[in-house]
Amino acid sequence: MSSEVAAGTVAERFKGLYGAEPDGVWAAPGRVNLIGEHTDYNDGFVMPFALPHTAVAAVSRRDDGVLRLHSSDVEGGVVELDVDALEPESDRNWTAYPAGVVWALRAAGHEVTGADVHLTSTVPAGAGLSSSAALEVVIALALNDLYELGLKGWQLARLCQRAENVYVGAPVGIMDQTASACCTAGHALFLDTRDLSQRQIPFDLAAEGMRLLVVDTQVKHEHSTGEYGKRRAGCEKGAALLGVDALRDIPYAELDAALARLGDEEEIRRLVRHVVTEDERVERVVALLESGETRAIGPVLTEGHASLRDDFRISCPELDLVVDTALSAGALGARMTGGGFGGSAIVLADVADVDTITKAVEESFAAAGFTAPRVFEAVPSAGARRVR
Ligand code: GAF
């Protein structure tokens, strides 16, 4: 169902819950990251694009300090909160994401005095496709419009990241929120996470006879649990040992010298090597796409997977199986995407090979005794927007 069609259903349900039409309906997408993994909290480069899957929210403004939240994706009724009483890390439910955005807006000095919200999302949860960022951004955009805050996409993304870091308590970077807020249809977003400067890179695989498949392994991941935070802390330690603000500041040409300076810090050395080489891979992919050599990005994606598996150590048997099987079945490139420890892989393939690859991956999962994966084609889609 498109976000525009879902808008009607969501508005209808809103009326049933709250007894009046919503002031408007907004949509914000999940994302796939083409390349640039675990570089965002190192001030580096990323290259996500928006999925057609969105969180869709019907929202009305309130001026009495009450925030009412309801989702048709979760059991339970309307949750009612007092905006003055919102407290970081006090909520372990889905409501922490929208409430966190209200908290972050108010903490930044924006006078947001409440809202009625009903939402639903088609972004698969726990699949590494940014279902949380979509939830945050759709609320941020709705409140930005309803309270006439005049904030730009990148500013909303920063506030959503703060909501997730401080209110939810997950130490994520800025990629997912910026992707949801700023991506445009038919493009991948080349983002410098240090200053949030952006370039929209045309990415129309269909025109070139290729497809990008997303394979959701159905292995759920959770960022607020330890491993993501450990990698982040390890990267920060690496930057401190090397005397730079962030690993972004280690030039690729000086990587070997930097690694040598890390002495017997073997684990830190692996993290640093991943981040520095990954930034270089993003720049290579941008250069290839801009010179029309789209097929040639395949091996760079695959290199990225090896680095995440062997150096950053955040893959899992299911993700590795997708990559190995897809490559053996003729894929041009494949890698895990997102935070890791489960979630999804992406596969770049010629149209003619899509069915063979899909079947091979499904059969390999069955043979390994893994839960059947969910495979779909990812088309670069629009970023957050008002749909009604
Ligand atoms: C998750 C985080 F939310 C992002 O900020 C990013 O670090 C990503 O993992 C890894 O590239 O999606």
Q: What is the pLDDT of residue 222?
A: 67
Q: What is the dihedral of CA 51, 53, 55, 56, to 10 degrees?
A: 120
What pLDDT score does 223 carry? 60
The pLDDT tens digits for 219-257 are 997 664 689 999 999 999 999 999 999 999 999 999 999
Q: Does the structure show a pLDDT above 60 at 152?
A: yes
DSSP string of 11-34? HHHHHHHHSS--SEEEEEEEEEES
What is the Å distance from ligand 1's center to 176 Cα? 7
Closest CA to 127 of 217, 253, 223: 217
38 vs 308: CA distance, rounded Å: 9
Percent of the chain's residues with pLDDT above 70: 99
The predicted-structure confidence for 334-344, as pLDDT tens digits, reads as follows 999 999 999 99
Which ligand 1 atom is at minimum distance from the Cα of 37? 11
CA nearest neighbour of 268 among 305, 248, 309, 239: 239
* Ligand 1 mean position, distance from CA 172 (Å): 6
CA of 340 to the centre of ligand 1 (A): 9
Instruction: For ligand 1, say whether the CB of 279 is within 6 Å of any of its atoms.
Output: no
72-111 pLDDT, tens digit each: 999 999 999 999 999 999 999 999 999 999 999 999 999 9
Is 231 a pocket residue for ligand 1 (Cβ < 6 Å)?
no
**Average pLDDT along the chain:** 97
Q: Given this model, what pLDDT does residue 5 score?
A: 74
**Active-site choice (43, 176, 279, 311):** 176
**Which tokens sit at 246?**
């962030």
**The complex's ipTM?**
0.99
The whole-number pLDDT of residue 34 equals 98
With beta carbons less than 8 A apart as the criterion, state whether 328 and 297 touch.
no
Residue nearest (by alpha carbon) to ligand 1 atom 9: 339
Return the ligand 1 atom nearest residue 228 CA. Answer: 9
User: Is the Cβ atom of 338 under 6 angstroms away from ligand 1?
Assistant: yes
176 is catalytic: yes
CB-ligand 1 contact for 176 (6 Å cutoff)? yes
Give the burial string for 233-252 (b: 16+ CB within 10 Å, else e).
ebbbbbbebbeeebbbbbee
Q: Whose CA is nearest to atom 5 of ligand 1?
A: 173
Per DSSP, the three-state class of 347 is strand
Binned at pLDDT 50, 70 and 90, residue 316 comes out as very high
* Ligand 1 pocket member 32 (CB < 6 A): no
**Is the Cβ atom of 136 under 6 angstroms away from ligand 1?**
no
